C-alpha cells in the first residue's frame, strides 16, 4: 500500500511539473513572438468607441435607406 501511494505521488508530481514547464515555455514563446511581430494592439476603449461610431453611422445610413424606400413605395402606390 505504501509503495502504491509513493508511486501515485511520484506520477502526480511528474505530471504537475511537466504541465508547469510546458506552460512556462508557452508563455515565453508567446512573448518572443510578440516582440518579433511587433504589431501594436489598440486599447480596448478606443477600439470599442471606434466600433460604436461605425455602428451608429451604419444604423443611420440604414434608417435613411429604409425611410427613402417607404416614401418611394407610398408615392408609387397612392
CA distances from 29 to 14, 21, 24 (A): 22, 12, 9
Residues 12-65 have pLDDT tens digits of 999 999 999 999 999 999 999 998 887 666 566 666 666 677 777 788 889 999
Residues 53-74 have pLDDT tens digits of 777 778 888 999 999 999 999 9
Say how far apart CA 46 and CA 72 lie, in whole Å: 39
Say if pTM beats, i.e. exceeds, 0.85.
no
More confident site: 78 or 52: 78
Amino acid at each position: 500500500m505504501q509503495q502504491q501511494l509513493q508511486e501515485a505521488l511520484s506520477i502526480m508530481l511528474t505530471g504537475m511539473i511537466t504541465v508547469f514547464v510546458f506552460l512556462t515555455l508557452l508563455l515565453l514563446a508567446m512573448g518572443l513572438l510578440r516582440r518579433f511581430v511587433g504589431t501594436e494592439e489598440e486599447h480596448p476603449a478606443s477600439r470599442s468607441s471606434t466600433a460604436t461610431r461605425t455602428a451608429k453611422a451604419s444604423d443611420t445610413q440604414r434608417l435613411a435607406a429604409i425611410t427613402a424606400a417607404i416614401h418611394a413605395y407610398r408615392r408609387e402606390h397612392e
